[in-house]
């Protein structure tokens, strides 16, 4: 019985060790794929180059991800998860209003996009090559923005809107954000905060309370 227990313990330890090694290998492959995407774009690099950069055999890459397409999907998913965690951290101030939250989130987004150019490149590639995955990602962002707008209305920061306008405004806010990086690239004299504040000024005039009216009363 003691020998059986010892064997069982060894098997469990080996299982845990194998699982940790597998996770480490997957992480190394994802890091290599991100580096390749940063250098030349994901669809211009090969599985062989990713495997070589990760220090694994091509067969090992296929074992963990099945195909380059699945690797792309998981890589984008990991980047989105990382970005979302940063955005949630920026949302941590419960006392902040809609515009304060937008400002904090946009600054985080711009900083992250600049530090991770492959994120923007992968988003563009997925839009072209994986439209279903792209639409699901956009739907998630829209849902997040709709929730934020509803909270802003409840707090009295934003004017009353019906469901259709809330959804339309969420799409506008999401779409406009994608041009902020281009604005920063074309206008070198402006910093992140100046660009974000100019953008929020436009949003505030379109969504915020105007003329001293009570937001809660205006829509009734």
- By percentage, how much of the chain surpasses pLDDT 70? 79
pLDDT of res. 77:
78
Coil/strand/helix, residue 220: coil
Q: What pLDDT sits at residue 105?
A: 86
* 68-220 CATH: 1.10.357.10
Burial annotation 110-131 (CB, 10 A radius, 16+ → b, else e)? bebbeebebbebbbebbeeebe
H helix intervals, 156-191:
163-177, 180-186
pLDDT band at 111 (very low <50, low <70, confident <90, very high): confident
Rounded Cα distance, 133 and 124, in Å: 12
- Give me the pLDDT at residue 13, please: 45
Per-residue model confidence as pLDDT tens digits over 51-104:
999 999 999 999 999 888 888 888 877 877 787 788 778 776 667 888 988 888
* Domain boundary assignment for the chain: 1-66, 68-220
**C-alpha closest to that of 171 among 143, 196, 129, 198:** 143
Region 164-189 average pLDDT: 78
Query: Highest-confidence range of 42-56, 154-168, 173-187, 202-216, by mean pLDDT?
Result: 154-168
Handedness of CA 16, 21, 22, 27 (dihedral sign): positive
Fold of 1-66: Arc Repressor Mutant, subunit A (1.10.10)
Q: What is the pTM of this model?
A: 0.68
């Amino acid at each position: 019985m003691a020998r059986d227990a010892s064997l069982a313990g060894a098997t469990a330890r080996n299982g845990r060790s194998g699982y940790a090694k597998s996770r480490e290998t997957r992480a190394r492959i994802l890091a290599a794929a991100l580096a390749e995407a940063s250098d030349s774009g994901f669809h211009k690099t090969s599985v062989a180059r990713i495997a070589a950069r990760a220090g694994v055999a091509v067969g090992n890459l296929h074992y963990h991800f099945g195909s380059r397409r699945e690797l792309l999907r998981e890589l984008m998913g990991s980047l989105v998860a990382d970005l979302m965690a940063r955005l949630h951290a920026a949302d941590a101030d419960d006392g902040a209003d809609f515009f304060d939250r937008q400002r904090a989130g946009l600054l985080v987004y711009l900083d992250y996009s600049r530090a991770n150019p492959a994120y923007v490149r992968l988003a563009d590639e997925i839009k072209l090559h994986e439209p279903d995955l792209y639409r699901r990602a956009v739907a998630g962002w829209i849902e997040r923005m709709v929730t934020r707008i509803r909270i802003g209305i409840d707090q009295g920061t934003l004017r009353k809107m019906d469901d259709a306008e809330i959804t339309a405004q969420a799409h506008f806010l999401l779409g406009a954000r994608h041009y902020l990086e281009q604005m920063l690239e074309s206008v070198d004299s402006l910093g992140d905060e100046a660009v974000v504040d100019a953008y929020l000024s436009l949003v505030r005039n379109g969504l915020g309370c105007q003329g001293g009216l009570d937001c809660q009363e205006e829509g009734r």
